[in-house]
Amino acid sequence: MEILKKCSKRVLLVLFTILLFYSCSETESLEDVMVSEENNFDAAFSERAALFTVCDITGSTVVSPNNAVVVPGSSTTYTYTNDTGISGVVSWSVLTANPSGSITITGSGSSVTVTYSANFIDGLLSAYGTGGNASDCETRLNVTRSTVVPTCCSPTMSMTYLCRGSSSTLSGGFVMFKMPANCDWSSVSKIEITNLSGAKFLDPPLENLNSGTINGPIVPNSGSDTFFLEYHRVGPCLSQIVCTAKIYFNNGCPTLSLNAQALGNM
């Protein structure tokens, strides 16, 4: 009986040791699993957080998130934004254009100018920001044409000319553009002008040139409706001075061709 008791005690001790070993092993395995699951959760959270980066295209023609309405024949400046920071590189592209070629993008970086042709119907733009301190993010802008007919303002063009002698730098005059009532210069994107008589303009950005482009915004320098350029001409007096101009609009109105002449005081 004594031997049986000793054997029973040894068996119980062995069983206890085995159970203790497996218990520790299971505890360690459970801890390992918990750590592994925590790491997986962190990785998944970071991945999901990247999905929630908000980037956008803003501009005066944007009427709602990811949607813009434009006037055919106009140009608009759009800017890419990213709520996580500033992207190092922003890639702009025309994904679709109806009809083909009716959308062009000029410039680079976070802001670009997009021009829509006179026959533009609809299209889709993309801006993809990468690098810098912002998360990578692409946003798209659906663009449709406006059905609103723009108000087209047609300025008039006139000029003066006074000759004071063949060697006088005071010979010359003014080329003037005047807007009609109820119109302003905000719809004009640029003026291309040429003095066909070889006279040179005195005002920037055409100083000492006989032709060139004046980009908007056009600021009137006489009242609220008249914009003028001064010019001079050294040489024999002419019977007349002639200028031509083209006015381009940013609201879809067609390009306007003008000309003016002034008689000399021969």
Dihedral of CA atoms 235, 240, 241, 242 in degrees, nearest 10, equals -150
The arrangement of secondary structure in 55-145, i.e. its CATH architecture, is Sandwich (2.60)
Q: Is the pLDDT of residue 17 over 80?
A: no
Taking only the tens place, the pLDDT of each residue in 163-179 is 988 777 788 999 999 99
* pLDDT at residue 72, rounded to an integer: 87
Q: Is the pLDDT of residue 36 over 90?
A: no
Q: State the average pLDDT for the chain.
A: 84
Cβ-based burial of 158 (10 A; exposed 0-12, middle 13-18, buried ≥19):
middle
Taking only the tens place, the pLDDT of each residue in 181-231 is 888 898 898 999 999 888 999 988 999 999 999 998 899 987 889 999 999
Q: Would the CATH topology of 55-145 be identical to that of 156-263? A: yes
Taking only the tens place, the pLDDT of each residue in 46-73 is 454 455 789 999 999 999 999 999 988 8
CATH fold for domain 156-263: Immunoglobulin-like (2.60.40)
- Domain ranges, ordered by start, for the chain: 55-145, 156-263
